[in-house]
């Protein structure tokens, strides 16, 4: 009798836990299904990135940075070959490779050229908007000054306002994926940290409900009387 009462109690708990965690479990399943509906390369817009331009041959001067550096990369941009230099303090600078002179930050007209050269899709460039580091767009979330190039197919190409580097390519599907990820980890604020009490609490309750379900598999049931 005591075992039967305990099993009945477990059954009631299992039912109530099922009602409590049913909605989040359904949301986790649906959001996970949507996130895997397309290849991650397509979500990231890799098919919309044009191949990097080859650096033209020539004699190049090393820049005089004036502080310790941790790396320098020679790349081709619409204005010509440039050095992208990373300093030990974490700063990034751009130098004109033929003479080693410092290049000022990217202006709007140059941002249009860089975005057009980096984009391989069928849309047309509609607008280029400057986004300061203290107010980044929701689909970038990077603490740098940037240019946002908006294309007619819903793609946003972001480039660093200091160096002209492509920071990200954001498609309409990426924004859908980002929303599904935020719902999946139950964090609509910064959409990055899944370690918070809400999701941990529901996960614990779901685990308890599953354990109770496993225990109830061994519950003895009375045989139904034959008709």
For 72, 155, 173, 188, 223, the CA distances from 180, given in Å and listed in that order, are 38, 18, 10, 10, 47
- 8 A C-beta contact, residue 75 and residue 61: no
pTM (2 decimals)? 0.81
What does the block give as tokens for 2? 């005591």
- 8 A C-beta contact, residue 156 and residue 136: no
Q: Which pLDDT score, from 0 to 100, does residue 223 have?
A: 46
Encode pLDDT of 120-150 as tens digits: 999 999 999 999 999 989 899 888 999 999 9
Any idea what the Cα angle at residue 38 is, between residues 37 and 40, rounded to 5°?
A: 125
For residues 47, 50, 55, 56, the Cα torsion angle rounded to the nearest 10 degrees is: 140
Q: Which pLDDT score, from 0 to 100, does residue 1 have?
A: 62
Q: How many CB atoms within 10 Å of residue 222?
A: 6
Q: Give the domain ranges of the chain.
A: 2-40+177-216, 46-170
What's the rounded mean pLDDT across residues 89-107?
93
């Amino acid at each position: 009798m005591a075992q039967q009462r305990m099993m009945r109690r477990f059954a009631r708990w299992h039912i109530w836990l099922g009602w409590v965690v049913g909605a989040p479990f359904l949301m986790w399943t649906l959001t996970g299904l949507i996130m895997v509906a397309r290849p991650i390369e397509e979500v990231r817009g890799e098919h919309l990135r044009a191949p990097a331009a080859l650096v033209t041959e020539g004699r190049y001067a090393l820049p005089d940075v004036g502080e310790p550096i941790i790396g320098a990369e020679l790349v081709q941009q619409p204005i010509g070959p440039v050095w992208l230099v990373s300093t030990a303090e974490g700063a990034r600078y751009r130098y004109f490779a033929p003479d080693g002179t410092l290049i000022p930050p990217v202006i709007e007209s140059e941002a249009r050229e860089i975005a057009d050269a980096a984009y391989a899709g069928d849309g047309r460039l509609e607008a280029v908007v400057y986004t300061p580091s203290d107010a980044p767009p929701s689909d970038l979330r990077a603490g740098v000054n940037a240019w946002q190039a908006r294309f007619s197919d819903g793609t946003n190409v972001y480039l660093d306002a200091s160096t002209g580097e492509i920071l990200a390519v954001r498609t309409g599907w990426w924004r859908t994926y980002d929303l599904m990820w935020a719902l999946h980890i139950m964090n609509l604020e910064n959409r990055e940290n899944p370690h918070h009490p809400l999701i941990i609490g529901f996960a614990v309750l779901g685990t308890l409900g599953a354990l109770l379900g496993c225990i109830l598999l061994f519950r003895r049931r009375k045989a139904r009387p034959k008709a």
